[in-house]
Structure 1
């Protein structure tokens, strides 16, 4: 329950920031274009807080935090007094209407630049992309990639962490091959050429690295306890954080996987667990609780998590940048995210990426909660990524989105006359149906992940 509330609160915070940024883009440019703004709302439904500025604009924070809107004076929506007709949105030149509509997505892109720039100034600590293991007969194995290879470049593009590597891999979808520049275990520079012809991301939630056969390096799992869940069988037995598991029912345990297998086979069965606590050896009796897995099988659960060995110091990199370099990097990274987002949309349409990988509000909430837990730098990175996605999504040529309005206005600019109201109304209905179907599909994916 606590995790749910944390994720929900983080989601509301993240979405509130991004919606405010997006709508403020529309609002600011509308004011500059001489359009009268009637309402600036963050959220939908019943207002929670309301106030007015000196120009009569109503500001609203509403109950349902799933979006927002800027309501402008418009003769197509309601009757406008003669003395205010020049302030109506529909009476502005098409160039100004295009500017007002495009300002929302552009504000999201600008926010991403600022967020990433702030992240680089604060300092980015990352794990170097060192290969842990390579799956047999996989594409990377056939390309010669080896455990302990440090990936330096993907197709001549520098990478610093696994996120960079995954984004570079996704950018290569549809290509016939991909070249990795690596440092091998002995410190020599090597090049690995991967055959990625017909490679697709067609499995749900399988990252590009795993799809190609790479398992990133992670420190070894120890038999020391890093977590004992409250109210669990382990807590009832008296197990504590820091205890080292030595044996179960007198049989020595050598790996965590071996311990997990024993626990899963022993639901509701008392187990004598030998532990080392500081300098003493203690024997405790634990009865694993019965749990029904997703596939319907029953298994035992103790309620503990292991500690990992320390990361090698040379595998961790912290990068700090000055204000100017940070903003330059922010612009560069934002542009990479924009192009990658459009590439992914194209790959979804061509089938290179499965629609099973789409995420909805639940997936975003979980991501928001995790990023807040990791700290400000991680949260800024998450906000930048979602802000870019929000901007790109709104530029799609669906009539209910900013991109659909832009499409109509560009047609009007070319034809020298507006698209008929009948055509626009039909487009809005079709667009709304497609958007609803897409939202439902993303929610179904979210539910399947729970």
Structure 2
């Protein structure tokens, strides 16, 4: 329940920020285009609070926090007095209407630049892309990638983090090969050529790194406890942070994974756990709680997380940037995310990426909660990513979205006359059905992940 409330609150905060930014883009440009704005609403349904400005615009925060809208004076919707006809959106030049509609997605992109710039000024810490292991018979194994390889470039472009490597793999999805420049464990420079001809992301939530067989380096797990979950079997048994596991039912514990397997096989079974605490061995009776595992089977759960060994020197990098460099990097990263988002849409259409990877509100909520837990830098990165995705999604040529309106206005600009009301109405109905279908499919994917 605590996790649910945390994710829900994080989701509402993140979505509220992004929707406000998007709708403010429409609002700001509409005002400057001479359009009367009647309502600026964050959320749908029953208003929780409302107020008015000097120009008569109503501001609303509504009960259902799943979007928002800007209601403008429009003769196609309302009866407009003759003296206000010049303030109606539909009577503005087509270029003005294009500017108002495109302002929402553009605001999301500008917001991503600002957020990423703030992140770079705070400082970004990441693990350098050192390969920890290579899965047998994988694409990486066939390219002779080896444990200890430090990935320097992909397709000639420098990479400094695992996120860079992941994005590079996704950008080159559908190509035949990808050259990877590495520095191996003996400090020698080598080229590993990944044969990605026919490679697809056709499994739900399959990470690109895992799909090609690359396992990032991570420090080994120790037998010392670094976290005890509240109300867990471990807490009830009296386990403490910095306890070191010694034995389970009298059998020495050699490694963490063997310990986890034993716990998972012992749901609701009383065990005697021996730990080292303050230079003495303490025996504690513990009964792992029962929960349902990823495969649907029952398994034991103790509620502990181990400490990791220290990272080797040179494996972790923290970078801080000045204001100007941060803005430039923010713009570059935003452009990269926009391009990647459009690439992924294309890959979904062509089947290179499975539609099982679509996420809906539940997936976003979990992502928001996790990013907040990791700290301000992770949350800013999440906000930028979702802001770009929101902007790109709204540019899709579905008539119920900004992109659909833009499509009609661009046709009007070319034909010198507007698209007929009948055609627009049909387009809105079809677009609404497509959008509902996509939302339902994404929600089903979210539920299957729970």
Q: How far apart in 2 are the matches of 1:204 and 1:193?
A: 26
**Most deviating of 39-48 and 262-271:** 262-271
Q: How far apart in 2 are the matches of 1:313 and 1:54?
A: 60
Equivalenced residue count is 450
User: What is the aligned partner in structure 2 of residue 149 from structure 1?
Assistant: 149
- Are 1:308 and 2:304 an aligned pair? no
Shift of 1:294: 5.0
1:294–1:156 distance in 2 versus 1, CA, 3 Å: closer
User: What is the aligned partner in structure 2 of residue 328 from structure 1?
Assistant: 328
User: What is the aligned partner in structure 1 of residue 246 from structure 2?
Assistant: 246
User: What is the aligned partner in structure 2 of residue 19 from structure 1?
Assistant: 19
User: How do 1:30-429 residues align onto structure 2 when only pairs under 5 Å count?
Assistant: 30-429=30-429
1:376–1:270 distance in 2 versus 1, CA, 3 Å: closer
Q: How far apart in 2 are the matches of 1:159 and 1:286?
A: 46
User: What is the aligned partner in structure 1 of residue 448 from structure 2?
Assistant: 448
Q: How far apart in 2 are the matches of 1:79 and 1:384?
A: 40
1:294–1:327 distance in 2 versus 1, CA, 3 Å: closer
Aligned to 1:140, the other structure's residue is in SS state: helix
**Most deviating of 179-188 and 335-344:** 179-188
TM-score, with length taken from structure 1 = 0.98
Question: What do residues 78-122 of structure 1 show as CA deviations (whole Å, max 9, x unaligned)?
Answer: 100110000100001111111110111111111111111111111
Give unpaired runs (5+ residues) of structure 1.
none
1:298–1:391 distance in 2 versus 1, CA, 3 Å: closer
Question: What do residues 220-259 of structure 1 show as CA deviations (whole Å, max 9, x unaligned)?
Answer: 0111112222333222322212111111122211011111
Q: How far apart in 1 are the matches of 2:292 and 2:406?
A: 52
Q: How far apart in 2 are the matches of 1:193 and 1:294?
A: 34
RMSD: 1.2
Question: What do residues 162-205 of structure 1 show as CA deviations (whole Å, max 9, x unaligned)?
Answer: 11110110000010000111111122222111100000000111
TM-score, with length taken from structure 2 = 0.98
**Most deviating of 370-379 and 134-143:** 370-379
Q: How far apart in 1 are the matches of 2:121 and 2:215?
A: 31
Shift of 1:372: 1.3
Question: What do residues 382-424 of structure 1 show as CA deviations (whole Å, max 9, x unaligned)?
Answer: 1111111001000000000000000001111111111111110
Shift of 1:292: 4.1
